[in-house]
Structures are given as structure tokens and as C-alpha cells.
Structure 1
Amino acid sequence: MTIPAPSQADLDWAMALASRHRRPAELHDAGVAELAAAGGVLRRAEDGESVTNAVLLAAHDLLHTQVPYQLGGSSLRRLAEFLVGRGVVPKPGDYEGRWWLWWPKCGRGPCRDCGKTRSLTRYSARFGNEYRYLCGRCRSAERQQIAQQAGRLLAMQDPRQPASTPAPTTLTPSIQAPAGSTSVPSPSGRDWESYVIRLDELLGALGWAGFDLPEEWDSDFDPQEGALLFATLWRGDGGLDVQYSPHQQILALQPFDDVTGDWPDSYSLLKDSIEVPVAPSGQQAVTAVAAAAGQAGLLDATHVRVADSAPPEAAQAFTLRRIRRIFQPAAAFRQLPLPDLLREVTENEWLNAYLEWVVGMTGHDVAPDIVPDAAALGIAAWCWRNNTAVEDHHLESDVLMARVNIAVTRITQQHVCPVEGIDWDGLKNDLTDPQSALPDGTPVCSLFGSGWTEVAATVTAELDRWRHLDHEVLGPETTLILMSIGGSTSYTESWWGQGRWLTICRRVIDDATAAGLPLPPPYDQRGPDALLADLDAPDEVPAPVLDWLIDLPDAGVHGPRGLRMHPVTRPPQHCWDPYWLTDGNPSPGPRTMSARPPGVAP
């Protein structure tokens, strides 16, 4: 495939670029004309002209084979981004098997498996897979498929496993020391693969909550202790250390300590270590890890403030860093310089009001991360309960209002994806659907009577407003961040849908029983554990039970508190105290941006 001859402007551009790297006598050497030709193709594609996939690929290959990387690398990477966007991806052995070095890690285009145009991530060639670009949903399905296939394979290969025993959901190699031996046999490559697959399973709840799960884990082996996988997980500037000991069957979540000083803006998301017993297969351990992470607040948005011991300039540095992390994705989405994007945002009166009140005041300590369940609460709070006619038609009891809030949150959760963003159209259809009902079958619209028309209209207007901002101004990432902050303020800290929900309920129950208050029927007979289990779905318990949880009606003025007033609903707080501010030194600037945790936007 030949590509069009370059224009004079393309030649001038290539000569100017080459002059930065070569002496004048070398400007007509091989590579400059090819750079001009490939650059012309790239320019036309960027200008929106019709350029075929074959021509784009030919321009890419011309740069790869004929132009030194230091000269054509930028154009090579940009052409690769265009190709990914059109679903053109190299085979594993193409370009000496090293194409992944310059092809983008993330992009947007047709997913290899489902074919839908979505946000894509490139996944590495391990466990027998090739390098491939997948959307978040297909990656999740792939993980499950790998685990299921591995379990079936092991079941066929292990003659000791009875035929009536269901195949395990993951690879489960022999992890016990041989009889009479005091040491653990060294794991095979297949064993290590099984450990990583299981670890990904165990940490699924943290992955959904916005933590970057590594594609590669550090590992070690000791003949006495067995295998060990470990890494630091990051969400924004917050970190925690993970250690998985498959032979000991222990998963440990530990405080992060920046002992090397490589992450000056970081802070630990844990104060104490958490150890969870985990079997080599099965859902029970996955649930136990999620429960432990939820109890520690790791599944909710992080609340962080500047340390009291930090100098005055720390507050300003913290605010500026937070603004960049909120709006840098929007600037990239719009392809605008950040100051231009911020100027447009401040000129939007309605959005600016949300930013001042929700983000700047009630949510001033919420870290700007994408936490899907928090975003769902944000939508329920600010597109349903607030800024609409819902409060004008407040239902007859707080219990009934709570049931509707939970129903709205359940619906919203189905339309929030950390990869795809928020499906505003689907959300609008479901929230205003006359058939939408509580668990007992009561239509939500019937509860508002004649006021439903106004409720539906104002909810629709609010969702449409956010849809416009998402699609035209902010982009999906910044919108998710803003909604995650909106779902993490004092307004929603006692709502169902957060990761700490059962921990909060447990504390209310324990305080009530310690004070001698009777549990509501039928749990006065069934006991507190049964009540806690049923409160996982609080909209399905009898109304007197939910009413008891909200206010503890028999507690008295000085008695224990229910959900409405209990201090346990306040989320854990973390301190931001970067060492470069504690000694009066200025911010290291570029060093902070270059030496940052994976996935942290400067």
C-alpha cells in the first residue's frame, strides 16, 4: 500500500523536526521524506479527512521501518492511537513482538470481543493470552472464563477429586507440603498463574471501587512459608499494601509506608493490618475480603484532609492538586488546555453552584477518585432527592422515604460503570418508569399521587442537565468523579449503598443491645446476627424494624443513637502531610508528577 505524497507544508514540518536532532548537512538523509509522508497522513486524519485504515497502517509501518524512533516516535504513537480507535490491532508477533512498547495502554474503539465502541485497556500476554484491547465488561467476563476453564481442567487432571465434587472456580494446585516433609514444594509456573487468578478474584471488590489492580505482582517463595504475592494498590494518592500467601491461605491488607520517599504526596489508607483467611477457591472468601474492605472504608470514597501539623501553604497545594485531578480528565476529553476548561466550567452558573456547595464545602475532604457505588449515591442524592420536586412531595414517613431512596439507589447502580461512565438515558427511563416498584410491589409513582407528574418532570430535567454536562463539557471521567464526591458528603453518610453500611448497622445494634434495649420483633427472638444479615437489604425488612434502626425509639434523650444521629456514620478520615511541605521546602513540581503512583493524574 502506497501513501499519498507529502505536501510542501508536510516537508517543511519534517525538516523543522529533523533539525532539532540532526546537523544541517544531514537533513536530507533517509528518513526525513518518509517522516513527511507519514506525517501528512496523520495530519489529514487529525483534520477529519477521509483516510482509510490501510493508509493509516501503511504510514505507521513506514515510520516504524524507515524513520528513527527519536524522530518519528510521537507520530508513530499517534497513528497507533488512531488504529486502535478503528479496531486495527497488531498480531502478537508483529513488529518483532514489541509493538506494545508504543501502542497505547488505553484508548477508545471497538472491543475485540463484543465489537462495541467503548473505552479500552490493553492487557498483557500472559496465561496463554495475546496482547488485546478489551472493554471493562469483556475483561471481567474473560477473568471469569479463565477461572472456570482452569477449574474444569484441574478437575479432569486430578484423579483424586471425586466425580461428584463440583469443579472449583479457579486453579487449585496442591498447596500443602508432602506427607512427612517440613518444606513446601516450589510452585510450578501453572501454580503461580493460579495464585494470580485467585488473587484477582479475591480483590474484585477493591477493583470495582477504583483501585488499580496490577497486571504483574511481585512474588517470593520460601520453602517453609510457601509462595507470596505482594504489591501496593493505589487509588489516587492513597495506598495500601497487599500480601497473599496461598500456602498459608491468608490475604493481608496492610498500611502503606513510603519508606523510600518515592511518593511524597501519598498517604496510607489503613492504620492497622487486616488479615482475612482465604480458601484457594470458592465465593465465601471473596465475600469475606469484600466485607473486611467495606468495614475499613476501602469500598467508599476516601476522606482526606491536610494534616494540622502541615504549614499554611499545604492547604493551597492540596486544593490545587485536587482541582487538577478532578478536571484534567475533562481537559483531555475536550482536548483543551486545563485553564481554558476551568474558565468554561466557572462560566456555567449551575455547575459552578454544584462545585461550590457539594465539591467545595460539604464534600471538601472527599478525594477525587472514581468510586462507582459512591457515584450512584451521588446521583440518587442530587438528581433525585435534591434539586427536584421530590422534597416538595415528601412521603408520609421517613421509613417510606428511605425505602424509595434505596430503590432509586438500586436502579442507579445498574447504570454506573467505571469504564463506560453513566448511562443517563437508561437511568432516566428507569427512574421515571411508572412500573418501577418497591420490593413489596408498590409502584413508586403511586406514593407521590398527583405530585408524580412534577416529580418525574424535575428528575428528568436534572438528569438531562447532567447528561449534557457529561457529553458536552466534562466527559465521563470527571462526571464520575463529581458524582462520587456528591455521594460521599454528610448528606448520604447514613444511606444504604455504601461499603460501610453493615458496619454502621452492626454498631447501632451493638450499642442498643449493650444499653439493654430490646430488638424489634421478630429479631427479639431471632437475635442480632439475624437482624444484621437481613439489613443487607433494608428495604425488605418490616417497616417497624427499619424505623427502629433509624431512630431507636426507646433510647431516650441520652441513650444510644440510631442511623440518624450515630457518630459511626461519619467516615474514617486520613491526613495528607507530604514531607516536602513539612520542612518548609517548596513543592518538587515535576518530580511529583513523574514519580507518582500508577494511575494517579498529576
Structure 2
Amino acid sequence: WWLWWPKKGRGFCQRCGKERSLTRYSNRWGKPYRYLCARCRKQELADDEAYLNQVTGVVREPGESAESLFMRRLQALLAQAAGTQPVQGEPVVKEPDEAEWSGHVERLEELLRSLAWAGWELPEAYDSEFDPEHGPLLFTTLWRTGAAIDVEYDPAAGELRLLPCEDITGEWDEAFSMLDETIGVTLDGDVERDAETVAERAGELGLLDATRIRVAEGSGVDTAELLAEKYAEWIFQPAQQYREIPMEDLLTELNADEVLAPYLRFVVFLTDFGVLPDLVPDAVALGIAAWCWRNNTAVEAWHLPSDVLMARVNIAATRAVMPHVDPVEGVDWDAVEAALTDPAWTLPTGAVVSELFGEGWPEVRRTVAEQVRAWKRIDEELVGPEATLRLLTIGGSTGYTRHWWGQGRWTAICRRIVTDAVQAGIPLPQPYDSRGPEALVKDLADPDLLDDHVLEWLIDMPDAGVGGPRGLRLHKEATTPPVRTVCFYSD
């Protein structure tokens, strides 16, 4: 049970009974899991120190390290039991010095970089524990738009743990945990490989994409009300601060805007109801690709000859936008327009996008430029960079883009499709019929670099019968994003 109790909170200290900020301490040294305030934790340590001084006859010397004191006391106890003199030795685990603690923090932040890029706020400082038996432990809580994840990093064990976060004190109104169970990620010591492992697991859990929520029945608020509050807090308030005008005037302008008003009605408020206004740069790029390239332009009217080719161009559009999205500075709209309307824009296959559209390219180029400029106006004149990023995160998180490359769940989606095919006895496309499913999943991280027949297999799985398994287009179980059911209770 203790794994889903939060590391930090506010409530009644189990030692003094007073309401204070609390920290959870583990069941080491014969003590139970418990919540203590800082004062009682200090007193607990002092009591433990006095007890050990008494039973071992060993008192800390000035400047002595914790591991040295531990070993002297251990040797004293062993000597008492055996009737011999203590023998010098080394501690089980040495306490890290300042440089080593800093190294652990740096490594933890490398492990969490995919989550940080997806909008999860990393702390300015991490909480820590150390004991000579188990070694160092770093822990913190990550937050994003009211959602929380507890994180524990155990360097000695080589494990990162993502844990549920629960507000046992009721201090955080309308905050909720993103997880229901503890997720352990085993690390092999290579920082780049470990960071990729964490990213894949976080992506599979939906932590690298915008959060979708459903409020449980019986809560003190329904889904529509909660989303309205989140949109007000994370979109409209930043927009008001950017514009420095009354909220009523701002909303009147937004509702009258010929581009933004329909987007708010049909993308934000209606399409795939339940997407939180997170700020996820990769989802922003998907939103721009969806609503400045593929939709509201002539691209669909000049649909290319095959779905594989359209998929290649969609991926290329998303890739072209990604470098120009910054979570702090916002979108470089001039660079986006230049990238999406460049007559020399070339796919990895060598095909030139403008030539693929042929005589339709002038219309495609003009309408794409119009949409990009419309969003530039929305950004600069109506709502500002932060609100724009959050609006486009929602636009890149709809059912329309649920099977597009660029989302955090992409590898998990591909793995599910490949696994289902293997289990159903469907042959993998060459050369993966000999290289194996893991090689295919790995290479699908960059699907635009693969041959047409591999992409066709992924999209529609031509060899599968009517009963499946399904490819990317129709595999709803693989491509449907997870929905988080949250509970809030009113007094």
C-alpha cells in the first residue's frame, strides 16, 4: 500500500499530532512507514542517536562521517556478541559526497528529459535520503496542468520508479495522479540508452502526450466543468495577461475571430472532448501539421496518388515544424511558413514535395501560407505564445492525429501492431521476416526512412483477413489514447 502514498503532503504528524508539512519515511531499522514533520524527524534521529550511543558505547567524533560511525558501531556490536575486539572495515555503501550527489541529480534529469520536454515541471531541487545499507535515494513530484507523478531514483539499485501521487491531506484541489500503480524502469548504466528506455515507457503510459481525462461519476465537478476551469486557468488567463485587457473583452474578441472561433468550437470544445490544455511541443507540431497543412488548405483537394505517399508528406510536414516550436519562446511562424511552402522541400526518398503536387502546388502553397499567417496573427495579436502553444497541443491531440507519427505513444502503437501481427501468424515485411519484430519496431521510429512496402504493411497490413489483425489505420485499440478517470469530491 505504501507505494501509492505520496512522498510529501500536509496533514497531522504521526508523532506530535500537529498539522504540518509532512514527509513519508520508509520502514527501515524496524520502524513502520510513517509521516513525520521536520521537527519530529529531527527528534527521531536524535533519539536514535542517543540509543545507539548507549547500546554500543560508540559516540560520533567531531567531523566523523556517517559511514565511519556506522561501521564503528557495527563492529562494537559484533565485538560484544563475539567477545572480541572490533575489526576495521568499510561501510556497505558509502554516503555520496557533494559532487556525487550532484552527479546523481544530473543523471536523474537526463533520465527525465523526455518528460520535461513533454511539459512536466522538474523541481529546482530534489529531496534525498541515504542509509549505509540501501544507498542514496532521490525523489520528487512532477506536475503538469494539475496532474502529478511521484518519482524515485535509486542509483545503487539501477532503477527509476514512477509512482502514483495522492493528496492525502486534501490540500491540492483538483489535482490528480497520472498513475494508479508503481512503474519500475530498470537501468543498465548507459545514460543515453537509459533515457531512451524511460522515454519509451513514459510514452507507452501516455505521459509524453496531452492528458485526456474523464471525471468519475459522483465527483463534485463534471468533465465539462473541470475542462472549462482548466482552459480558463491555462489558456484564457495567460492570454488576458498577454493582452492586458479585461477577460470579457478578450472572450468577445476570440468568439468573433473568423479563424479562432471555429477552432475553439469544433476542435477544442467538441472534438475529442477531454484533452487538457497541456503544453507539449511535439503535439504542437502535430497541431500545426494538422491545421495549417493537412486541413483548411488545398492539400486534401490535391490528394496524392497513395496513402503511403500522403503519410510520407504528413511526416515530413511534422518534422519540418518541430525545430520551430519552443516551449518558452513559442512558434517561429515565419520559419514554419518558409519550411512548409519551400518549393525545394524534399522527402528522404528524394522526391520534391512541390513536384508531387504538380499543378496543384501553387494553390497548396498559397492556402498553407494563409493558415500559417492566420495562426501567427492569433499568436501575436490575440492570445500570445503560451495560449497558442496550448491551443495547438489540443489540436495535435485529437482523434484525427491519433495514428500520426510524432506523438509520444508512437513506439508503443507500432509495437502493439507488430506484436498482434506476429501472434496472428502474419508475415512481417521484408527484410524483417528475417531480422525479426524488434528490428522492425526499432526502425519504425523513423518510418519515412523505410521502403513503401513496409509503410503499406504498417498502415493497412494487406495480408491480414477481414478478422484482422489491423494496421495503423484501423487498429483502434493501439491508436486510441488512454483516458484518465479522475475523482474529485466536494465537501
Classify the TM-score, shorter chain.
0.7 to 0.9
The offset of 1:278, in angstroms, is: 2.8
Gap runs ≥5 in structure 2: 1-87
Higher relative contact order (CA 8 A, sep 6+): 2
**SS of structure 2 residue aligned to 1:382:** helix
**Equivalent residue for 1:371, pick from 265, 280, 298:** 280
CA-based RMSD of the aligned residues comes to 1.6
**Equivalent residue for 2:367, pick from 446, 458, 463:** 458
Question: For residue 515 of structure 1, what is the aligned residue in structure 2?
Answer: 424
The offset of 1:337, in angstroms, is: 2.6
The CA distance in 1 between the partners of 2:488 and 2:234, in whole Å, is 17
Question: For residue 565 of structure 1, what is the aligned residue in structure 2?
Answer: 474
For the pair 1:429 / 2:356, whether they are aligned, the reply is no
Q: Is the 8 A contact 1:436 1:443 kept in 2?
A: yes
- Deviates most, 495-504 or 268-277: 268-277
The offset of 1:324, in angstroms, is: 3.1
Question: For residue 441 of structure 1, what is the aligned residue in structure 2?
Answer: 350
The offset of 1:189, in angstroms, is: 1.6
The CA distance in 2 between the partners of 1:377 and 1:318, in whole Å, is 21
Q: Deviations over 1:235-264 (max 9, x none)?
A: 111110000112222111111122222213
The CA distance in 2 between the partners of 1:312 and 1:191, in whole Å, is 47
**SS of structure 1 residue aligned to 2:384:** helix
The offset of 1:279, in angstroms, is: 4.9
The offset of 1:272, in angstroms, is: 2.5
For the pair 1:574 / 2:484, whether they are aligned, the reply is yes
Q: Is the 8 A contact 1:421 1:477 kept in 2?
A: yes
Q: Deviations over 1:201-221 (max 9, x none)?
A: 111111111010001111111
Q: Is the 8 A contact 1:237 1:266 kept in 2?
A: yes
Matched letter for residue 260 of structure 2: L
The CA distance in 2 between the partners of 1:256 and 1:367, in whole Å, is 18
The offset of 1:472, in angstroms, is: 0.7
The CA distance in 2 between the partners of 1:311 and 1:564, in whole Å, is 38
Compute the TM-score of the two structures, normalised by the length of structure 1. Answer: 0.65
Gap runs ≥5 in structure 1: 1-178, 586-602
Q: Is the 8 A contact 1:246 1:280 kept in 2?
A: no
For the pair 1:527 / 2:436, whether they are aligned, the reply is yes
Q: Is the 8 A contact 1:363 1:485 kept in 2?
A: no
Judged with a 3 Å threshold, the aligned counterparts in structure 2 of structure 1 residues 280 and 189 are, in CA distance, closer, same or farther, namely: farther
Matched letter for residue 338 of structure 1: M
For the pair 1:254 / 2:155, whether they are aligned, the reply is no
Judged with a 3 Å threshold, the aligned counterparts in structure 2 of structure 1 residues 549 and 481 are, in CA distance, closer, same or farther, namely: same
Matched letter for residue 382 of structure 2: V
Question: For residue 182 of structure 2, what is the aligned residue in structure 1?
Answer: 273
The offset of 1:290, in angstroms, is: 1.3
The CA distance in 1 between the partners of 2:307 and 2:189, in whole Å, is 44
For the pair 1:353 / 2:271, whether they are aligned, the reply is no
The offset of 1:339, in angstroms, is: 2.5
Q: How many residues align?
A: 403
Q: Deviations over 1:312-362 (max 9, x none)?
A: 656434423333322111111111232221121112132110001000111
Judged with a 3 Å threshold, the aligned counterparts in structure 2 of structure 1 residues 313 and 459 are, in CA distance, closer, same or farther, namely: closer
The CA distance in 1 between the partners of 2:451 and 2:107, in whole Å, is 39
Question: For residue 480 of structure 1, what is the aligned residue in structure 2?
Answer: 389
Q: Is the 8 A contact 1:206 1:293 kept in 2?
A: yes
For the pair 1:331 / 2:233, whether they are aligned, the reply is no
Matched letter for residue 441 of structure 1: G
**SS of structure 1 residue aligned to 2:148:** strand
Judged with a 3 Å threshold, the aligned counterparts in structure 2 of structure 1 residues 381 and 180 are, in CA distance, closer, same or farther, namely: farther
Q: Deviations over 1:338-396 (max 9, x none)?
A: 22211211121321100010001114211111100000000000100000000000000
Alignment of 1:38-437 (within 5 A): 181=90, 183-279=92-188, 282-310=191-219, 315-437=224-346
The CA distance in 2 between the partners of 1:184 and 1:336, in whole Å, is 59
The CA distance in 2 between the partners of 1:229 and 1:554, in whole Å, is 50
Q: Deviations over 1:71-94 (max 9, x none)?
A: xxxxxxxxxxxxxxxxxxxxxxxx
**SS of structure 1 residue aligned to 2:346:** coil
The CA distance in 1 between the partners of 2:151 and 2:233, in whole Å, is 28
